[in-house]
Structure 1
Amino acid sequence: MSDDDTFPNLEASALHAIDDEQLLAGPGEEPPRILLLYGSLRARSFSRLAAEEAGRILRRLGAETRFFHPAGLPLPDDADAEHPKVRALREMATWCDGFVWSSPERHGAMTGIMKAQIDWIPLNLGGVRPTQGKTLAVMQVCGGSQSFNAVNQLRLLGRWMRLITIPNQSSVPKAYLEFEDDDRMKPSPYYNRIVDVMEELVKFTRLTRGCREYLVDRYSERVESTEALSARVNQRSI
């Protein structure tokens, strides 16, 4: 289905609301770049379907999106960083301004597939910080009643990766009941919540990406840099 048919579920008033001009990039402004990760390899993966709905919403809001498909990604430490899938993931993480992480809940936690993707993204990559100061939205799908175990874990990881994790989040219970046979999500408060989350992600991304370096500039790191510079100067003068 094309992006022109993105919102058959929303009433006209909601369509008007999502076309808020303040959300859309102005003339000459680069669209927010969002990378979406999902945590299941099933043929009909509901975490992927939820992420695809999120991607459609993001594009409607003027964002540019990319998906990383985790099939073939090795376990962390079971390959080196030159593995094609690892290289592709790291390049996408460097490219983006923000992330969407969408995981199923399995045994009360995010899946290993979700965690492996995050573990392959380093805090520092050749002097570039692929996550620090960027934005993050977290989502989960549940096989049973609504739970927040996976999104809570994803938030913890977002903090560890020094991402700006937005306040809103999505958890879809009994996800197998929330999608049509064409893999599109049914109209529901859960669908509307995903729209809420993506709106908020675009807002936070546009507000913060121009001052990302300032936001992650830390006193302790400036002290370390000053001390290292002084040590090099002293070494040369000996």
Structure 2
Amino acid sequence: MTDLPNITPDAFAPIDRDQLFPLQRSGAPARILLMYGSLRDRSFSRFAVEEAGRILNALGIETRIFDPHGLPLPDASDADHPKVTELRDLVTWSDGMVWSSPERHGAMSGVMKAQIDWIPLSLGGVRPTQGKTLAVMQVCGGSQSFNTVNQLRILGRWMRLLTIPNQSSVAKAWDEFDENGRMKPSPYYNRIVDVMEELARFTILTRDIRDHLVDRYSERVESRAELSSRVNMSKAI
């Protein structure tokens, strides 16, 4: 490492192929949490999530849908509120997530953002989202837009989620679902199938190695510095 004079040697290591390609992988079904961003009785973001859940189940994925009814606004309640606890437990349970929001005033809904804001970056020393997969979707009241999925991607990156390349944006959503909330055959439906297939593949591919994928040199340097500081303090005492 003579050509990397600023590297901390004990925090730097070559790529470990054994960790990237483990011989043993989990045979249990992957687990996906689906979240939607509207409280309306006829919520198209919920309909889209329910359709996505059916597709994931057909692909052999275990799914759960979080109902945001009763979830308090961030900072309006303590984190031990039952709905907050339910949401956080589901995030911890999951291997990946689907976020589906309506677009309102060119942005995601407050209901969607409130759910994401209740998910901590760290929970009891564990990062509940880091390295897990994410698929983003939006429903539009008018012509097709990508404002909301773009915003959700930013949040996914902030939460250290592996956001898959594909995404879904359903235009004129009021015309894409029947009276029972089932999605009609269309290119929009086909795209949701595409997105769920991709999410399932990425989740199964990465879930066993997600800690290794997001293991960061900069954080290893900080951890070693903190450990060294504690050792020196104990010796001084």
1:199 is aligned to: 197
Report how far residue 104 of structure 1 moved. 0.1
From 177, 180, 202, the counterpart of 2:178: 180
Once residues 142 and 151 of structure 2 are traced to their aligned partners in structure 1, the CA distance between those partners, rounded to angstroms, is 18
From 97, 115, 118, the counterpart of 1:117: 115
| 2:26–2:208 Cα contact (<8 Å) kept | no
* 1:1-29 CA-partner distances (Å, limit 9, x unpaired): xxxxxxxxxxxxxxxxxxxxxxxxxx971
SS at match of 1:101: strand
1:30 is aligned to: 28
| 2:96–2:203 Cα contact (<8 Å) kept | yes
Describe how 1:1-238 pairs up with structure 2 within 5 A: 29-238=27-236
* 1:179-212 CA-partner distances (Å, limit 9, x unpaired): 1112110000000000000000000001111111
Once residues 94 and 228 of structure 1 are traced to their aligned partners in structure 2, the CA distance between those partners, rounded to angstroms, is 27
| 2:33–2:65 Cα contact (<8 Å) kept | yes
SS at match of 1:36: strand
Once residues 212 and 90 of structure 1 are traced to their aligned partners in structure 2, the CA distance between those partners, rounded to angstroms, is 19
Question: Structure 1 unaligned runs (5+)?
Answer: 1-26
SS at match of 2:174: helix
Report how far residue 96 of structure 1 moved. 0.2
Once residues 213 and 81 of structure 1 are traced to their aligned partners in structure 2, the CA distance between those partners, rounded to angstroms, is 26
Once residues 155 and 213 of structure 1 are traced to their aligned partners in structure 2, the CA distance between those partners, rounded to angstroms, is 20
Once residues 168 and 75 of structure 1 are traced to their aligned partners in structure 2, the CA distance between those partners, rounded to angstroms, is 30
Moved over 4 A (4+): none
* 1:111-133 CA-partner distances (Å, limit 9, x unpaired): 00000000000111001111000
SS at match of 2:99: strand
Report how far residue 154 of structure 1 moved. 0.3
| 2:79–2:85 Cα contact (<8 Å) kept | yes
2:12 is aligned to: none
Once residues 214 and 153 of structure 2 are traced to their aligned partners in structure 1, the CA distance between those partners, rounded to angstroms, is 18
Once residues 33 and 151 of structure 1 are traced to their aligned partners in structure 2, the CA distance between those partners, rounded to angstroms, is 22
Amino acid corresponding to residue 61 of structure 1 in structure 2: L
2:3 is aligned to: none
Which structure has the bigger radius of gyration?
2
Seen in structure 2, the aligned counterparts of structure 1 residues 45 and 213 have a Cα distance that, compared at 3 Å, is same
Amino acid corresponding to residue 60 of structure 1 in structure 2: A
SS at match of 2:75: coil
The number of residues matched between the two structures is 212
Amino acid corresponding to residue 59 of structure 2 in structure 1: L
